[in-house]
Amino acid sequence: MSPILLAAACLAGEGDFNGRWNITVTGEPRNRAWWLEVTGAGTPRLAGKFVGAPGGQLDAIPEIRISREGQLEFVFQRNYRRGPAEGKSPPARGIYRARLVDSKLHGSFEIEGAPARALQWIGVRAPALNETDDGSWRAGAPVPLFSGKDTSGWQSRIPERPLQWRVRDGLLTNDSGAADIVSAARFRNFRLRVDYRVGKGSNSGIGLRGRYEVQIYEDHGKPPSLHGNGALYSRILPSVNASKPAGEWQTFEITLVGRQVTVVLNGTKIIDRAEIEGLTAMASDPNEDQPGPIVLQGDHGPVEFRSIVVTPLGK
């Protein structure tokens, strides 16, 4: 950081760190965006919540401070090492640092002892989305995103990864370990109807605007969970588990207006106009005030889709 930027950062008041931040990461290996919330900065009650590398859930930050130089610093103790040796290496300290310059967080991430894997990131304040699901929205023409014939209209979420999805017997399905796919079409407020099927123990997810994941998970008969079928992943708990057994076709009807989401699973409303606080781990597009794509998760297990239809909503 230049001396001019450093001087400007040091003048930022600690309370200016408070708020919700959408984060774009340079060189993030899975092309994912991060999310940060800071509360209590400038008081003894400094705290934070984070969605980002390497995990996927929303976590309270266990160790957070503002240095005497005016730098926000927080730490997680996690297993950051991926690949064949993952799970065998001991946890390491992941250190996140940021300075506030020109109303943005200019940040870095470093795994202690592995400087070569350092990343740079920029955080911008999450925008206000004032639209509400008040019953006044009118349905437009439905937009089918899957023809039953080919994968046209979809691309890999990670540009350098091939499209490892196929159409078999009229169903859209993923190869083992396939990268997520995103629709070329982008939407703001909409209703989404998806018919899908998963096998025993499998899971996937549906990304709304490329930012918010509705979980697909084979968990018939289990209690509702923040990581369970129909949850707004790690953020909004379904009221009931309306899942069908493995191997049966299931249907989501999802409405998203502004930050309000409604999820109907197999005819049962399990989330009713709940407010989405921010990005989930699937997010690749952090620009919340813009239309975004539909995303299908492919790297967590086999899944099949036979129908994906978006109905835009307007005034």
The architecture that CATH gives domain 3-125 is Beta Barrel (2.40)
CA distances, 295 to each of 57, 66, 135, 165, 175 (Å): 18, 36, 26, 13, 16
CA distances, 10 to each of 4, 14, 104, 121, 246 (Å): 10, 10, 13, 19, 56
Between residues 107 and 3, which one has the greater pLDDT? 107
Task: Give pLDDT tens digits for 8-26.
Answer: 444 458 999 999 999 999 9
Residue identified by tokens 């995990």 is 55
- Is residue 76 very low, low, confident or very high in pLDDT (cuts 50, 70, 90)? very high
Of the listed ranges 39-48, 153-162, 218-227, the one predicted with least confidence: 153-162
Task: Give pLDDT tens digits for 136-152.
Answer: 999 999 999 999 999 99
Could you tell me the two tokens for 98?
């940021």
Q: Domain coordinates of the chain in residue numbers?
A: 3-125, 138-314
Tell whether the model's pLDDT for residue 315 goes beyond 50. Answer: yes
Q: To the nearest whole number, what is the mean pLDDT of the chain?
A: 92
Between residues 225 and 90, which one has the greater pLDDT? 225
Instruction: Give me the residues paired with residue 196 across strands.
Output: 250, 305
Q: What is the pTM of this model?
A: 0.91
The architecture that CATH gives domain 138-314 is Sandwich (2.60)
DSSP string across 207-219: EETTTEEEEEE--
Task: Give pLDDT tens digits for 103-137.
Answer: 999 999 999 888 778 999 999 999 999 999 999 99
- The CA distance from 238 to 235, in Å, is 10
Coil, helix or strand at residue 291: coil
User: What percent of the chain lies above the pLDDT cut of 70?
Assistant: 93
Which residues, 6+ apart, have CB-to-CB distance to 196 below 8 Å? 204, 216, 249, 250, 251, 252, 303, 304, 305, 306
For the segment 176-199, the average pLDDT, to the nearest whole number, is 96
Between residues 274 and 30, which one has the greater pLDDT? 274
Task: Give pLDDT tens digits for 230-239.
Answer: 999 999 999 9
Tell whether the model's pLDDT for residue 302 goes beyond 50. Answer: yes
